[in-house]
Structure 1
């Protein structure tokens, strides 16, 4: 009764209510409770999925899917049972609690028997996955004597997700909810950009490009009308965004030029801060005079760790300055990289919105999304490395602090061409920015 008070006290409570209040009153109260739950589910499904659904799923699966005899049989079949030499009773690891963060993810907290180790469970991952009918399984230590088994079943994204639609007018652009794809509940996956800094993590071929192009398509008319200005640092030699230069206010495809773009972005932030201060304003409003400024950096590791030491030190300092001061002035940073370790990204904790696609190491999910997210179900390292699963990853619900499985919309080359054709920045072809940087370098060489 102490371990499961809700289950053990409900039948006595119902019996008492029937005796004291009568069946009509009891039935009416239960009907009203059910109607209220149904109304909540149909009227505001997002909050229902956030607060009520996980608790209901956890209780249902605990007493249906993982009920005592089923769990006991599973442990014995996987050779985790042990006979007590004194009593002759077969002991098995005890299931402490079940948490279901989403319809396809369960986290089982298990108290192991004395003498059993984490490694023994990890070595039996394949057997446990088959017994639990799981597509992916993660096993980690929670505390001495307790492990967490994260069970992922099925792929809720059987179809490719369409890319973000380009709004007809800038008034239709919602910078507080830019479309990126869908979540596993079938709802639109949106993220706020205004006042936020994004970090997208994913291995090669995981679909990080969709995290770049979907928000650009979603705010395309605002770029065209000068309400949003985007600076792009594509330090993969221009392979990602080289054909979309008309979208950007500044563009660079080499680390040296990218550093100049980042520094100019910082200088613009300082200038905007002074103008707002002189006007007596504490926060900017999106307008033609004070547009939302966005700095996008693809393969950020080249600017923070893997490039020349002089460039990386200065780039890290500039990015930290922008991300700690840019919110009120309307300056946001969107960065994308493969490895989110502190050695690669010292300013990782300054990013306010984080998305994690497929990774190559199991600890990358916790580094990208926050400590404990892999235990709660963010098995980013278990996502198959094929085109069928490209764009699938995890984000964190900002209220419930649970990982939610998502899939970014697939943006084709034709979709990018459509965006460039219909929503170029007001300055037109901004490739001259790159030439200007090179011309300055040539002038410095001539002067030398």
Structure 2
């Protein structure tokens, strides 16, 4: 009797598992749209990723063969197979060996070992086909280490509606989350790691929005913000309550930049006396406040119409280059922005560009500006920037010595940035050495 009961229980156990699985799947399907809308990460991990992972496994071999990434077996082995197997089909071609498919918050990551004779460029060319077969938004292939490539897939466009968590408190010094990367990760501008930045973009491309996000993130921090806006201060005057100094024309800018150079040299003397290489080696009481210099519309500093203006432009360019060369270790950081940046503005622009390690390129009106911003770092980044359309406002390509990414800044309006500047106006450091009187 006990044996019959155990047998009956064993027979009903798989049925209950199937029923529970069916109920779970039905619930996910019914709640799918609401779950995807309110909890996109949970929806992806529970529903989207398993389906896409199954698709990758099923299509891997035919996809590799169709993209020319499979390698045929040796002819001799094919002949032996035919003799031994009495006409049996020859062995299937070798395909690159893939690793585990690991989910991310909005896609997945996959490592693939190359076959002999293959290079990462072969997989880069096949990325659009991978995205089409796996039914994902995009696939990006990068070299992981010799003989291995890293495939990163995004299920949806993370730049369509970037979700950036609100920063609580001042956060890390000189580190600001300004948007989202195409990988779904946060777009972080860390001035301690990449001290100087060049931001270019046409009108309504998102350049001003990025500066708003940067100012809003720096305002709660114990740093000094200095503005140079030679268009009469139309852009940066919004943040004036939080600015330690603001120049609104080229004459003022030249004096302010000269004062910043003097400030930098004074800090150099301080570090030398303390026998440290940078201000971060000084104690908390001795360490001077970091200074972030925001230059809006760099072309206004370099365009000349007379001999006097030429001298001013040369002085401004020389001072900016000196700040870029000396400032990183002495706590002076540059954020240079403009609609158009090209070598036609003068040799000073090219020399300055070489000192700005971080680059952000929004949609631009001329290819020369994109070339100036990205061409010397990565040709692929240049192509991606030139593909940005007017409908993709806020989308940009950012590049540094570490590589490049597509990104989109978090939408912070001018009113919001102005409110943040007013809220933290009491934190504005007083730098008396920057208050230069007119001659």
Moved more, 363-372 or 255-264: 363-372
Query: Offset at 1:55?
Result: 7.2
2:333 alignment counterpart: 332
TM-score where L is the length of structure 1 = 0.61
1:283 aligns with 2:278: yes
Aligned counterparts, 1:220-235, within 5 A? 220-222=219-221, 227-235=222-230
Moved more, 352-361 or 246-255: 246-255
1:234·1:252 contact (CA, 8 Å) conserved in 2?
yes
1:216 alignment counterpart: 215
Aligned counterparts, 1:7-406, within 5 A? 7-8=70-71, 36-39=99-102, 58=124, 60-61=126-127, 103=138, 157-159=159-161, 161=162, 165-168=166-169, 170=170, 172-175=171-174, 177-194=175-192, 196-222=195-221, 227-285=222-280, 287=284, 289-306=287-304, 308-344=309-345, 345-346=349-350, 347-371=352-376, 373-375=378-380, 378-385=383-390, 388-396=391-399, 398-399=401-402, 401=403, 403-406=404-407
Considering only aligned residues, what root-mean-square deviation do their CA atoms show, in Å? 4.4
Query: Offset at 1:237?
Result: 1.1
Query: Offset at 1:384?
Result: 2.8
2:427 alignment counterpart: 426
Residues matched between the structures, number = 328
1:365·1:380 contact (CA, 8 Å) conserved in 2?
yes
Structure 2: segments with no counterpart, 5+ residues = 1-66, 79-94, 115-119, 142-155
Measured in 1, the distance between the counterparts of 2:184 and 2:74 equals 36
Indicate the structure (1 or 2) with the bigger Cα radius of gyration.
2
Measured in 1, the distance between the counterparts of 2:243 and 2:378 equals 35
Query: Offset at 1:178?
Result: 2.2
2:395·2:407 contact (CA, 8 Å) conserved in 1?
yes
Matched position secondary structure for 1:216: helix
Over 3 Å counting, the alpha-carbon distance change for 1:104 and 1:361 in structure 2 is farther
Query: Relative to total residues, which structure has the larger helix share, 1 or 2?
Result: 2
2:179·2:187 contact (CA, 8 Å) conserved in 1?
yes
Measured in 1, the distance between the counterparts of 2:109 and 2:334 equals 29
Structure 1: segments with no counterpart, 5+ residues = 16-29, 68-101, 107-153
Over 3 Å counting, the alpha-carbon distance change for 1:173 and 1:423 in structure 2 is farther
Measured in 1, the distance between the counterparts of 2:113 and 2:242 equals 40
The Cα offsets for residues 207-232 of structure 1, whole Å up to 9 and x where unpaired, read as: 1112222122223221xxxx311111
